A and B are shown apart, each in its own frame.
Chain A
Amino acid sequence: MTKNKILNKVKMPFCQGCGHGIIVRSIAKAMEQLGYTNHDTVIVSDIGCSGLVDPLFDTHSIHGLHGRAPALGVGVSLGLDNPNKKVIVIQGDGGVTIGLQHVLEAARRNIDITLVVMNNLLYGMTGGQISGLSTQKFKEQRHFEVDVPPFDIVKLAHASGAAFSARATSIKTYTEVLKDAIEVNGFSIVEFSSLCTSYAFKKLDELQEVFEEAEVYRNERIPVRAHHKERKSLLDNLQIIEKEFDSKIEKRVGLVLAGSAGGGVQSAAKLLATTGMFSGLHSTMKGEYPVTVGTGFSIAEVILSTTPVKYTGLETPDAVIVVSDDGWNKIKGNIQENSTIILDNSLKNEETESLKNKVVYGDFNRAAGKRGAALAALSYWIKDTGMMDIEALKKSVSSHKYSKVLLEAIEAGLNILT
């Protein structure tokens, strides 16, 4: 039933004297005063003492992992995409420490959630260990971590772009600060000082000094909402290729093309594959190149076949075409004895001369430039073997955005003398 009552009539589960109950009641009061109903409210809870809150709220709730509630809340808020629904994320200082990145990311994106941090300065459920938000004064009492200041999550969130960030240290201000936070359209965070009665009180002399000062910061920003855009099918962009030429390939031909990254090797190989398709063949293509762009080797394997190609491995390529040092150095250890080797003239040396394979040299780089050499070599190979119609290759490049340059490389390849 929809109602403007946010809390259940459940006894607070917290230790005697713990401030968490007051924060929970303040959240409910703020929401009720702002007119939210229980069905407008989603509580996202974390792990730890702050994670006991679900049954207290008579609202929607989702209870996840330690430290991840702000990220889960971001997903819920973007997924709901409904400004009338309010996502309240509740976590402790331990949760903030584990998932600091999630808080900063939500703030940076200014996602419409309110993050309530119940800072009791420690991990209460596991025995009172310090967290990343434990203050210096508090830690000094425990005789370790000298001069390791706490994260100021309020300032961090503000610096990351949060629309609203505040720390509340006086119970009297809780509801009003929360109302300010909840009313903000975007990411808001309120850190509450809620000292642990079980593990902190007895070890502290001066209560007032252990928390940071109350503060409020704002960034004037528009919240990031989920964006939706209907798009057309990826398959609609694919070129439909029909057989227009004949080929002399009887079964299956495999070819390796090797050169330098940025040398047009991958695009030449793809053009060869589609050339095969224009010739009524089935084709596959796969590439290998380093993770860097425009540096090092670039290798592509193409298989052309009269029947659909299942296994795409290429143990013994019919032809290996290499147009640069980078390409040669990468594949020279893997040359099979039956392959025909087509090399750029620049690769003529003792090593290549000692190959037992059939080796052909051509001046591909000089004729077509570094970027055209791979395609020129393919053009030469097609003409030399007569396996396919050179017009099929021209057809293949005709719809390419750089077709003019590519056609020049093809022509250069046709005129190569070996």
Chain B
Amino acid sequence: MEKNNKQMVFTDASMLITEACVKAGADVFIGYPITPSNRFYQYGTQRFPSFLAGPDEITVMQWMAGYSAAGKFPVSATAFPGLALMTEGLNMAYAMELPMLLILTQRLGPSTGSATTGAQGDLMFTYGAISGHYPIPVFSHSDFEDSWTMTYEAIKTAIKFRTPVILLTSKELVMTNKSFDLNKLKEIKPVEKFSTKVEEPYKPYKTGKEMVPPYIPLGDDKYQVRINASTHNDAGLIKKNDPESMANTKRLKEKFEKRIDEIAFYDFDNQDGADKLIVTYGISADAARDAVAELRDSGEKVALLIVKTMIPVPPKVMEIMDRFNSVIFVEENIGGIYKEIIYGKNAPAKVIAVNKIGSLISPSEIVKAVK
């Protein structure tokens, strides 16, 4: 891509995310149609080296896991009803430690809700998706540039940590077309998938200090690979009430906790003298950006934190919130889901929530809450 001139196009984030997936080395899109993830399906058929049309979301997740176990990186896109069906399989892939990317396009719930109305209502579900409260990485994007880079980071994280990753988005983020300068996109190179350094004797779930087992696909001609979703030992065989197996199970959480700084993504736009902080993510971020510009124009001092690593919660994000006397959470749901993840049910008085369902939160609604 030429860097000197602007290359203005009219596109949508579904296309940028699909393109970023393939550029990062994703091999197969396994789709089951669901609104508002339809554009991913459509672009998936046009762009991925392989495409499969699944008969239902339970099957989709199993096919993805099979592909991943065989060394191919799978991607799918769904919405809450599909995620609900995929969740047992997602737990399986998580326990097996299989890299994959699941794009979750949020829409208004509960249940089937309104398929074509956006929302930010699924974060708590993803937070609790893994039994035992192990963190599955959930990344969000807040604009077109982000959709590109966070997709890349999501795939890098999936491979580096051998884990499924969820890219959390919403209807308005991926189904709105915008004029966009392609030169803003950074180059994406395919992510190296397989482990080159393997400790002998090889054990499928034996790890070193990086806490992630080497990624070697099933069917390997040199190493015997055993993959297991049930509580297993280093050899990948079922073993319960055994110190090695319990250590292996605890490691699923520890690998993220110990290395959280490697995957802590956020934009912090501070302002000297500001004692108010707006915290937001995803589709509400653009409204917050406009609101912050308006507030600063009117002489108000305010800082903005756009979070992109939703789960696990990076300590750095909480440190930033601790610095401010007033923290305003902006999210398109009832009650404030991210706020509840950070502060629980008993948020301190300094925390304010700006929430709404059924339509986008507007900059003026944010401005009003801050003033």
Which residues from chain A sit less than 8 Å from chain B, CB to CB? Answer: 2, 38-40, 42, 44, 54-55, 58-65, 68, 71-82, 85, 101-102, 105, 226-231, 233-235, 238-242, 270, 273-274, 276-277, 281-288, 291, 308-313, 315
Contacts and interface: CB of A to CB of B under 8 A. Distances in A.
B275 to A, nearest CB: 24
Interface in B17-65: 18-19, 22-23, 28, 35, 43, 46-50, 52, 55-56, 58-59, 62-65
B255 to A, nearest CB: 21
A226 B55 contact: no
B168 interface: no
B99 interface: no
Given A65-B88, A231-B22, A277-B10, 15 more contacts: A54-B226, A60-B218, A63-B229, A65-B229, A72-B66, A74-B66, A75-B64, A82-B219, A227-B50, A233-B23, A234-B15, A235-B15, A240-B7, A241-B10, A270-B10
Interface stretch (B122-130, B176-184, B263-271): B176-184
Interface string B121-160: 0000000000000000000000100000000000000000
A393 B351 CA distance: 49
A139 B93 CA distance: 36
A228 B50 CA distance: 5
27 contacts: A42-B219, A54-B237, A55-B237, A60-B219, A60-B225, A62-B96, A62-B227, A63-B228, A63-B230, A75-B66, A75-B70, A77-B66, A78-B67, A79-B67, A79-B70, A80-B219, A102-B62, A233-B47, A234-B15, A234-B18, A240-B182, A282-B179, A291-B35, A310-B143, A310-B287, A311-B362, A312-B172
Contact of A60 (B28, B116, B226): B226
Interface-central residue, B69, B218, B287, B290, by most chain A CB under 10 Å: B218
Interface-central residue, A54, A74, A233, A311, by most chain B CB under 10 Å: A311
Contact of A283 (B88, B178, B225, B229): B178
Nearest to A238: B9
A44 B219 CA distance: 12
A371 to B, nearest CB: 21
Contacts of B229: 63-65
Contact of B66 (A79, A229, A242): A79
A229 B45 CA distance: 11
Given A76-B69, A79-B71, A286-B172, A229 B11 contact: no
B63 A71 contact: yes
B336 interface: no
Contact of B65 (A72, A82, A233, A310): A72
A275 to B, nearest CB: 11
Interface of B: prevailing SS: mixed
A284 B179 contact: yes
Interface of B: 7-11, 15, 18-19, 22-23, 28, 35, 43, 46-50, 52, 55-56, 58-59, 62-72, 74, 88-89, 92, 96, 115-116, 143, 172, 175-179, 182, 217-222, 224-230, 232, 236-238, 286-287, 289-290, 359-360, 362-364
A77 B72 CA distance: 11
Contacts of B363: 311
B66 A313 contact: no
A71 B59 contact: yes
Nearest to B67: A79
Interface of A: prevailing SS: mixed
A242 B8 contact: yes
Nearest to B56: A101
A415 B228 CA distance: 71
Contacts of A228: 49-50
A62 B62 CA distance: 12
A284 B66 CA distance: 40
Contact of A311 (B46, B55, B67, B287): B287
Given A226-B50, A235-B182, A312-B178, A61 B226 contact: yes
Nearest 3 pairs of A and B residues by beta carbon: A75-B66, A79-B70, A71-B62
Contacts of A74: 62-63, 66
Given A76-B218, A235-B15, A284 B71 contact: no
Contacts of A76: 66-67, 69-70, 218-219
A270 B177 contact: yes
Contact of A310 (B96, B172, B175, B290): B290
Contacts of A310: 143, 286-287, 289-290
B66 A65 contact: no
Contacts of B238: 54-55, 63
B56 A239 contact: no
Contacts of B96: 62, 64
A281 B179 CA distance: 9
A234 B176 contact: no
A241 B11 CA distance: 12
